[in-house]
């Protein structure tokens, strides 16, 4: 059994009960001191000894966009970032290390999981990183208007996102919760037909003035299941030198990816369906 010291606590690999099922803590056999976290059998998080190292490609894609966004906020002293879905908080942990003045709030449904990851890992404390044990949609419906700068959705029940986190009602609540020009990003897991990503983007386009996405070419061509990062904002998306820098970063990863702009996203989403909490009455 692999063990590691975290302060005075011993971390042991194993399977542990949580509020929604179970979590498996598994030592990374390739990276000393790193851990893999699986929630109900699905890979959820990777914790590297260096918080600035992100193992999951889609998180690196998000980090590139967030770096661009942060640079556009020259007068913003403290970015207010909300993470819907937390797991072991690997991306929120990265954000604290990258932007120490930022204020991160993680909304995670599984209360027992939040306690375990606090016990296991060196997660920053409030005000840099707060963790709320709450349903993501219920939390979003209660957000104060213009109370945050970035909202990141990375919520899965098994291998799919709950339906009520991809509807027009949800996106309207997200939009109203963001300060003017705020940024929304989502990790969308989709199959070869890409119907979910198309529908989510089409629905987002009813709310956000600008949408885009990031994925690797094989995923965008419908060759496999994978992750697509969806982006929505009311401010212009990166262009010129900023876009060139992002493009280089995306191509330089272990899984090269492409940034697809507003025009591409609108064409891509045209075959999607609008998503609602419930079928509107006619």
Query: Which candidate, 25, 19, 14, 150, places its Cα nearest to that of 78?
Result: 150
Calpha distance 164→247 (Å, rounded): 32
Cβ partners under 8 Å of residue 15, min gap 6: 22, 23, 24, 25
258-260 and 178-190 beta bridge pairing: unpaired
CA 47 – CA 28 distance, rounded (Å): 9
- Segment 8-54, tens digit of pLDDT: 356 899 999 999 999 999 999 999 999 999 999 999 999 999 999 99
Mark the ranges of the chain whose per-residue pLDDT is less than 70: 1-10, 74-77, 279-282
- Tokens (6 digits) for 127: 């005000």
In this prediction, residue 11 carries a pLDDT of 82
pLDDT value of position 226: 85
Sign of the Cα torsion 271, 275, 279, 282 reads negative
Domain limits, the chain: 51-269
The pLDDT, as a whole number, for residue 225 is 80
Given this model, what pLDDT does residue 104 score? 98
What is 51-269's CATH number?
3.40.50.150
Q: What is the pLDDT of residue 177?
A: 98
Q: How many CA atoms lie within 13 A of 12 on its CB side?
A: 5
- What's the confidence (pLDDT) of residue 76? 63
């Amino acid at each position: 059994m692999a063990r590691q010291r975290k302060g005075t606590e011993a971390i042991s690999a194993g399977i542990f009960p949580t509020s929604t099922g179970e979590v498996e803590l598994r030592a990374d056999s390739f990276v000393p001191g790193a851990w893999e976290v699986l929630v109900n059998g699905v890979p959820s998080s990777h914790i590297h000894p260096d918080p600035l190292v992100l193992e999951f490609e889609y998180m690196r894609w998000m980090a590139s966009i967030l770096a661009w966004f942060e640079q556009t906020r020259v007068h913003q002293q403290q970015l207010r970032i909300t993470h819907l879905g937390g797991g072991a908080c690997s991306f929120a942990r990265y954000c604290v290390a990258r932007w120490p003045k930022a204020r991160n709030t993680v909304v995670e449904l599984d209360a027992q999981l939040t306690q375990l990851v606090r016990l296991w890992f060196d997660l920053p404390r409030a005000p840099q990183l707060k963790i709320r044990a709450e349903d993501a949609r219920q939390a979003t419906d209660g957000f104060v208007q213009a109370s945050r700068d970035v909202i990141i959705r990375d919520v899965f029940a098994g291998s799919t996102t709950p339906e009520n986190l991809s509807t027009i009602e949800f996106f309207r609540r997200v939009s109203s919760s963001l300060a003017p020009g705020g940024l929304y990003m989502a990790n969308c897991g989709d199959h070869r037909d890409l119907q979910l990503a198309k529908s989510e983007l089409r629905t987002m386009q009813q709310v956000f003035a600008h949408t885009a996405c990031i994925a690797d070419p094989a995923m965008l061509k419908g060759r496999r299941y994978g992750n697509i990062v969806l982006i929505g904002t009311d401010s212009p998306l990166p262009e010129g030198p900023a876009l060139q820098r992002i493009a280089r970063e995306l191509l330089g990863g272990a899984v090269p990816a492409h940034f697809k702009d507003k025009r591409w996203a609108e064409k891509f989403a045209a075959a999607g369906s609008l998503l609602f909490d419930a079928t509107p009455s006619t």
